[in-house]
Structures are given as structure tokens and as C-alpha cells.
Amino acid sequence: MPTLAPNVINRVDKLPKPSNTAQAMQPLFEAVSNAIFAIEDSQNLHPKHDGIVDIYVKGLSNPDKIDVEVIDNGIGLDGKRYDAFCQLDTDFKKERGGKGVGRLFWLDSFSDVRIESKYLDADAFHDRGFAFLLSNDEQLREDDQRLYLSRVRNTGTVVAFKGLREENYRKQFPASAELFKRYFSAHFIADFLMARGPKVRLDIDGEDTRYPEAVSDLVVGKAFEASTDEHKEFGVLNIIGFTCKPEASTGLDGMHQLHLLADGRNVEPRKIDKLLGIHRVRRDGHTDLVFHGCITGEYLNRHVNEGRTAFNLADSKVKELIRFCTEFIKENFLTEQIAEYSDARREDYRDFVQRYPIYDFADEDTQLDRVPFGARSAEEFATGLVKYQIRRDEARQNDIEKVIKLLEEGQSVSEKFAETVIKAAQEVQNSERLALAQHVVRRKLVLELLERLIRRIRDRGDKEEDFHLESTLHSLIVPMRLNGSDPSKVEASAHDLWIVDERLAFTRSFSSDQRLAETLKSGGTDIRPDLLVWNLAHGLGVVDPSDDNEEFDASEPLRKAMIVEFKRPGRTQYKKVEDLLELQITKYLRQLKNGEIETFNRQNVRIAKDCIFHCYVVADIRGDLKDQLDGWSTTANGEGRIRSLDNEFKGSTIEVIQWQDLVNDAWARNVATLHAAGLSRSQKSKP
């Protein structure tokens, strides 16, 4: 009867192609694994047999001239093994996890593949040699050539590869000795760490590296070894853990690694840096070690793919297994150091919620469990918690909307209705408290910074060094050299004008340290008021601040405006004519009266002839300035000075406020919210 004829070319063409260097090296890794198995077979017959695998590599820089030989002193390709080699999808190595397709990857990747072997049969040595071909008719072409057999010790096999054939392999195969060695070490690191199997010598262009010594010499201390409890899905997993010098992770993604093995072979490493948390492991006097764990189990054996390059599992399932093993390692292998790390992480979290109280919406343990164990920074904490914050806000919003709908529709309410309303109200209060705390924390920091900056400038006196601190002080309150209504500078125009007046907290219509010639549509000079505000968010404004799309009501001229001048803290000399405050301020007013300010939307805001100007000068009243203000009235607290203007500026005033009074007033306006948030003014900040 007819039989199904295998189409080898099509079978090879359908094999998965490599997308990275590790996958491109997989056919070579397969040859090395076969060599190790052949040595194990020989050791089963002769337990004292010392196995060795020699790998010679040349021509890495040219895909057409790559030359690789894998030589073992194993059992050799005897009749039984040769028959298995000749059978497509053989089950000869099924008990070891062999899929019978590994050698097909050789045909896919290399242009020229040759196998030569010496074996023992009936106490006599025999040998065979053949070319392995990508063909549907004749894949094994035996011949009498023996090109490599002289290198075989006693019995053994040589697999020789020349030139890369398939384009993906040509692109991904390592082109340098260093890269080749890194990926080779990374793939077999589990075997080398456990010093399991034969010795391996890797010779690249005459420079050799010996394994497992190259890797096992990096191990510090005795290996950890334990088995997990029975998992409902993963069963029992065996874990062998090693603490190693950092070089053990060369070529791997991340420092701490778990190596997932199937059928005795390393399938893939997974970094666990974030899951483990600790940056480095301490042991035996070393403080910069990394952790490598080797994971084995029947679950992994059952789910490895035929090329042993990955697992037939969803990535989420592999991640779940990795998390399960990492938790076991933290609880059983690195207990003391993990406990220290957990305490430090908890302190980091407390600092985080103190600075960002809006994330303090659940108890500490719950919040810490919601973020990755490796989270330590504010950004990492926030990233992990923000989704829970959104869910919480959504749930609260939905609960409140349900209550409102129930009342609107006049439906009957249950006896638990009051409880539902109270709970919803409490949730709103909690949300407001957290938002308030976040707002107040920032204001507290700004005021503390402002006080320290003022003190630093005063201490400097009239010295020239640190002259830039004056502009820093100005910029802290409001950015310099810009118009707050300029849409191209929205981000730069963020300000803290609430320090001067709470009504200015959200104003956009101002110019800061900008020439009047640039502020007015026409006219004006190069003189620069430190701050000119022509629209306030509340009280003095003509625009509804709650409506971003609201246009200026240009039909009515501006009848109120504010000018603020900042004088350097600690300044005592005001000897020049232009230092006379009243003269300086009225010079501004003359240019502003009857002028027009052009806003960014090209509307013109007219300034009324009888516009009232509220003018403030923030300064330390001392030296020449104190003498200059002797004839002025004192303010309510007796510390400041005020002057009512007359004639053409009738109704306008100039008020001189001491720097410390400005700060004290800002603190006083925020004291209630500070207390509500559980905060207080720092003792160091008080005068």
C-alpha cells in the first residue's frame, strides 16, 4: 500500500524563524545538547567516563564563511542511533524530552552540515560519515571521507556546520566572539551553575573558554535547594538558587534571573529584578551579588515547544509561575535581606504619601501589595496605584449618581437608604481631604522655599555673588519676561501668584518683567513693571475663570488693575531719583492710562481713564527706603506703608509690604487647610 512521502523541504520551511540572537543560535545549542546526551549515554555504561565537548568557531564576521564544529567523546552514532537519526520526528529521545526535530533546524540555518562518528559495536570500532542535505529525495549522503574524525577521542561524534543559509539566521547570528560567548554562556548557565554534565571547551579563533569553570567560579556560597508546596496548577516545582558575581548575568536582560528548564535543558531565562526588589544580594562578605535560580518540574516538561525555545503557555501564565517561584525564594532563601528591604520600602512609601497624599486612600499594607515589590520611587508607587485610584473614584461617582437618580425618580427607598447616603458623603469627604492635603503640601513647600530664598538674599547683602538669586526669587512667584495670556507659553506661565493675593491663584492675564512697549498695543517705553495684572480670577476681573472659552468683554474698559514691584530683600540704598517709589509707580500709571492691552486672541482690552490701580511694593523697609516712606501712613499691622494717590490717579493706592509680612500673610491664609491636612508651618520657617 502507498505510504505518505515526507516533504522535508516544506517541513523545514515551516519551522519558526529566529527573531533574536538567542533563537538564531538554537540549532547550534541543539547540537551541543545532543553531544551532552551522547556523553551521558556513554557514562551510563561506563560511570567513570570523563565527558568533554569541544566547540571550535571561526569566521563569525562573515555569514558565508562561518565554520563551527561540535565534537564530543560520547557513545557515538551506532546502528540504533543512526536509525533514529534517519527517522523524521523520531521518538528516540522522548523520555528526555526530545521532539525528534532538532536536526531539522540545522538544515534550516546552515548551508553545509556534515556528521562524522566513531562508535563501538561487538567490541570493534566502526565509523561513518555523511553529509546532511536539505532535499526531498536524499537527506543523508554517506561517503568515505573522514575530515574530522581524527579529533574524536575513542568514540564520539563531530557535527560540522559551514555558512548560514536562511536570511533570518544571517541577520541574527552573533558576528563577534564576545557576543557569541555571552549568548552561549547565558543559554547553558543553568547546567554550568550546577556543574552538571560534561566539561565544555569553547574555542573561538584560537581563544578558548572552559566550562563550567568560567561560570561556576562566579558562584559565591553554597547553593540553595528546595521544592515548593503543591500548586493547584503548577504542581511541585524544584528550585536551585545561586548567589553569583554580577558577571554571571552578562548577556542577559536584567541582573537577577530565573532559568526555566524543561527535560533537563534551559529553555528561557526571565529577569526578576523588580519582583525580587533588592538591587544586590549580600553573602559571605560580598555585597554586590546577583541571584540565579534554576526551576524544574513536570509542568514545564509538559508545556515546552518542540524546538525547546519557549513554552506553549500564555505569557501571563509564565509570569504567574515566575511570581510564584520568586515569592518562594524571598520567603525561603533570602529571608533576612528581603525583610530589611521591605522595611526600607515601607519608609519610602510613607515619604511618598506624605508628599502626595492623594494616594493615601487605603491602608498602608493594602497599597504596598498593589504595587510591584521592586517599587521604591514616587513615580513607581504612583504608576502602580493610579488605576486603583481611578476605580475608587469611578465607584464613588456611580454610587452618588444612583442615589441622585433614585431621588429624582421618586422611587421607594429602603431602610438602608440613609446608610447609603452617609457612606457616599463620607467617600466624598475622604476624597476632598486627600485632594486638599495634596494641594496644601505643595503650597507648604513653596512657602518654605520662599522664606529660605529671602533669608539667603538678605544674608548676601550688597555682595555681587549669587546676584541671580533676585531673579530666582521673582521667578518663584511668577516667571519673568512673559505674558500670561500667550498660548504658546501656557506651561511656562504656571505661577504662584496666590502668595501675593489669593485672587490671583488662577489668573492668566498678566505680564511679568515685560516692557510696557510690548504689553501695550501702542505706546509705552522700555520700563518694566515687575508684575502687571489686568484681569483677576475673582473680584477685579471681566472674564469668568470657570469658562476657558469665554472671551474678554471688550465693550467695557478695564477699570481695575494691579501693579506689583519686588525690591531685593535686605536692600538699604535707594539714592537715585528713579528709586523714589511714588515717582516710579506713577510713571507706569501715566503710560497705562487710556492705553490698550492686546490679548493673545487679538482683542484689545481698553484701560479706562479713571481706572483704579492697586499698586504694591514688596520690600524690606529699612535704610533709605524707611526715610523715603516717613510721610506715608502705616498699614493696619503697623509694619507696612500706604499712600493714597490724588488728582489724575485719584482712588489708586500704593502699598509697601514687608517681605516677611507677605510670607506671613500667605501662611495665615493657608493655616486652616494646613491644619485640616495634618500639617503645620515648619519652626525653621518662622521669623
User: Helix (H, G, I), strand (E, B), or coil: what is residue 410?
Assistant: coil
Q: What is the mean pLDDT of residues 452-479?
A: 75
> Hey, how many other C-beta atoms are within 10 angstroms of the C-beta on 445?
11
> Is a pLDDT exceeding 80 seen at residue 76?
yes
**Using CA atoms, how far apart are residues 55 and 59, in angstroms rounded to an integer?**
14
* Position 530 confidence tier, pLDDT thresholds 50, 70, 90: confident
Cell digits of residue 607: 484701560
* Position 684 confidence tier, pLDDT thresholds 50, 70, 90: low
**Domain 8-213: CATH superfamily, name plus number:** Histidine kinase-like ATPase, C-terminal domain (3.30.565.10)
Digit-coded pLDDT (tens) for 644-658: 998 888 999 999 999
> Is a pLDDT exceeding 50 seen at residue 58?
yes
Return the pLDDT at 429.
67
**Using CA atoms, how far apart are residues 616 and 153, in angstroms rounded to an integer?**
97
Return the pLDDT at 645.
92
* Position 536 confidence tier, pLDDT thresholds 50, 70, 90: very low
Lowest mean pLDDT among 70-84, 259-273, 454-468, 641-655: 454-468
**Using CA atoms, how far apart are residues 419 and 422, in angstroms rounded to an integer?**
5
Size (the chain), residues? 687
> Is a pLDDT exceeding 50 seen at residue 545?
no
* Position 537 confidence tier, pLDDT thresholds 50, 70, 90: very low
- Vertex 659, ends 656 and 660: CA angle to 5°? 120
Percent of the chain at pLDDT above 90? Answer: 40
Digit-coded pLDDT (tens) for 347-368: 999 998 888 887 888 889 999 9
* Position 89 confidence tier, pLDDT thresholds 50, 70, 90: low
Digit-coded pLDDT (tens) for 402-448: 777 766 766 665 666 666 667 766 776 677 677 777 777 778 878 88
DSSP, residue by residue, 312-354: SS-HHHHHHHHHHHHHHHHHHTSHHHHHHHHHHHHHHHHHHHH
Indicate the average pLDDT of the chain. Answer: 83
> Is a pLDDT exceeding 80 seen at residue 275?
yes
Return the pLDDT at 413.
59
